[in-house]
Amino acid sequence: MVKKLTAVTLAMLMTGVLSACGAGEANTNDTSAGANAGANADKNAAAGNAAGNVAGSEAKPENADASKKIVIKYWYAFGDKIEEAKKHMVQTFNESQDKIEVVAEFQGNYEDLHAKVQAAFAAGNAPAVTDLEISSTGVFAHSGMLEELTTYAERDKDQLKLDDFNPGLMGNAYVDGKLYGLPFMRSTPILYKNVTMLKDAGLDPAGPKTWDELEQYSRVLKKKGKTGMTVPADIWYYEGLVAQSGGKMLSDDGKSAAFNSPEGVAPVEFWKKLSTEGLIKIPMGDEAGPTADKDWANQLSAFKFGSTAGVTGSLEIAKGNGFEMDTAFMPSNVSYGVPTGGCQLVITSKSSDEEKQAAWEFLKWMTSKENTIYQHKHVGYLPTRMSAVESDELKAHFAEFPQFKVAVDQLEYARPRPMENAYPEVAKIIREAIEKAILDPKTTPQKALDQAAEKANKLLAKS
């Protein structure tokens, strides 16, 4: 029986989900140019793959023939380069066969998309396929909104090649040991560097590789009238810094907060220290992410954190503004560590059987080797399949543009995002606590996170 979403859960989806997250993914696209270059070169190979997937499936949608296509809706998030890549792939899929017609519809950012899907599901007209930000998979699965994909994957195992997906990206695909999504446009936060600014300041552009080096670099840059980094108090980045400190966001059973441990407090203490001394800038509010992007683009700050989805756009910005850029791992503390982000493709559970079969064909095609190569080269999202990473095409691409390979290499240190039902709301509470600790001289990071943990524990106990 399908469970109903509670009002609390719906509020979590509408207010707490950050776009792959938050400033990282949404805002890298605010200033990006179009991404159609090279689309035609990939089209023929992708079309051939689509035709093979549809023709080779053992279970075809019922009543699907050349005169009567099965029409399914696909709802997606984000515009600009991301939207152009998705629309290109959908168009190529539709042109590659005559059994299925996918109608792609833009629905805003992840928060907008999730709220609209929930409302449409309740009304009985949800899309057959939708993007789903990875940390919300648990909420949607537990609420009965998602089709379990385990049976589909086992049936088409030779064609799907599930073990070809990068293991570092599969953690959020499963809920309670069952498969609910296929990795699609996946990301991690990485460090973006203005190499020209570093050289002008006499700094080694290979760094900074640690928190201590980031502080040292920022002190030198301050003397030059520049800011080391502009970084919003984004939950996605904070998760990375907690991992680097050896900590966890939640307890192993997901029933209590762990972010107020010494390892969780350390990142906020670090941010507060550097912010207080004017070494980094931490903007607040809805414009925090765009502010960080603009400061970096205008060469006011040497560093920014951002999604790997922004590599293509950032290269274009650097070229247009006359500086050299590079990417690197997020600087380490005790070790390297990084959360994954982005979305996976899921099938909604109320679709008809023939719509579900058509949706499955579409999922397999969108997450194919050829399409992961295409979207990686033209946007910057991680290549989700190992066969894509090992392909001659991407090896040549990495050799020419090493900025793209950083996120792939960083996956060695990646961990999945928490998927507890309450986590979207908990994330909002944590962000507010971090901002309070930084803005209020009388509030210590430990006190702010202890207060946040108390609120979080009440929510987690109910989920």
**137 and 40, same structural domain?**
yes
User: In residues, how long is the chain?
Assistant: 463
Mind listing the pLDDT tens digit for each residue in 287-328? 999 999 999 999 999 999 999 989 999 999 999 999 999 999
Indicate whether 339 pLDDT > 90. yes
Question: For 428-452, what is the mean pLDDT?
Answer: 96
Mind listing the pLDDT tens digit for each residue in 244-259? 999 999 999 999 999 9
**222 and 201, same structural domain?**
yes
Residue 462's pLDDT band (cuts 50, 70, 90): confident
Read off the amino acid at residue 36: N
**226 and 255, same structural domain?**
yes
Phi first, then psi: what are they for 448, rounded to 5°? -65, -45
The residue range of the domain holding 267 is 189-339+422-462
**168 and 225, same structural domain?**
no
CA distance 328 to 44: 33
pLDDT at 184: 96
Indicate whether 33 pLDDT > 70. no
**267 and 135, same structural domain?**
no
pLDDT at 95: 96
Question: For 60-83, what is the mean pLDDT?
Answer: 77
**113 and 44, same structural domain?**
yes
**439 and 310, same structural domain?**
yes
Indicate whether 8 pLDDT > 70. no
Asked whether 36 and 170 are in contact (CB, 8 A), the reply is: no
Indicate whether 91 pLDDT > 90. yes
Whether 13 is covered by a domain: the verdict is no
How many angstroms separate the Cα of 447 from the Cα of each of 329, 345, 436, 452? 30, 39, 10, 9
Q: Which of 378, 406, 434 is the last residue of a domain?
A: 406
Mind listing the pLDDT tens digit for each residue in 413-434? 999 899 898 998 999 999 999 9
**129 and 53, same structural domain?**
yes
CA distance 153 to 161: 8
Indicate whether 219 pLDDT > 60. yes
Report the 3 state secondary structure along 276-328.
Answer: HCCCEECCCCCCHHHHHHHHHHCCCEEEEEEEHHHHHHHHHHHHHCCCCEEEE
Indicate whether 3 pLDDT > 60. no
Question: For 116-131, what is the mean pLDDT?
Answer: 96
Beta bridge partners of 194: 325
Mind listing the pLDDT tens digit for each residue in 138-179? 999 999 999 999 999 999 999 999 999 998 899 899 999 999
Above pLDDT 90, what percent of the chain? 80
Assign residue 333 the CATH number of its domain: 3.40.190.10
**392 and 432, same structural domain?**
no
CA angle in degrees (0–180, nearest 5) for 263-267-273: 130
Burial of 393 (0-12, 13-18, 19+ CB in 10 A): middle
Q: How many domains are contained in the chain?
A: 2
Instruction: Tell me the H-state helices in 60-210.
Output: 80-96, 110-123, 137-142, 150-155, 157-160, 195-200
Whether 5 is covered by a domain: the verdict is no
**108 and 68, same structural domain?**
yes
Beta bridge partners of 189: 307
Q: Which residue did the predictor score with more confidence, 170 or 49? A: 170
pLDDT at 218: 98
pLDDT at 378: 87
CA distance 240 to 332: 9
Q: What is the DSSP string of 248-281?
A: -SB-TTSSSB-TTSHHHHHHHHHHHHHHHTTSEE
Question: For 398-421, what is the mean pLDDT?
Answer: 93
| pTM listed for this prediction | 0.82
383: left (phi over 0), alpha (psi -120 to 50) or beta: beta
19: left (phi over 0), alpha (psi -120 to 50) or beta: beta
Whether 444 is covered by a domain: the verdict is yes
**454 and 316, same structural domain?**
yes
Asked whether 3 and 144 are in contact (CB, 8 A), the reply is: yes
pLDDT at 67: 56
Whether 414 is covered by a domain: the verdict is no
CA distance 156 to 141: 22
Instruction: Tell me the H-state helices in 124-210.
Output: 137-142, 150-155, 157-160, 195-200
pLDDT at 251: 96
Indicate whether 443 pLDDT > 50. yes
**178 and 136, same structural domain?**
yes
Average pLDDT score, the chain: 87
Mind listing the pLDDT tens digit for each residue in 173-208? 999 999 999 999 999 999 999 999 999 999 999 999
Whether 247 is covered by a domain: the verdict is yes
Whether 448 is covered by a domain: the verdict is yes
Whether 7 is covered by a domain: the verdict is no
CA distance 107 to 104: 10
Whether 10 is covered by a domain: the verdict is no
Which positions ≥6 away from 10 have C-beta within 8 Å?
115, 118
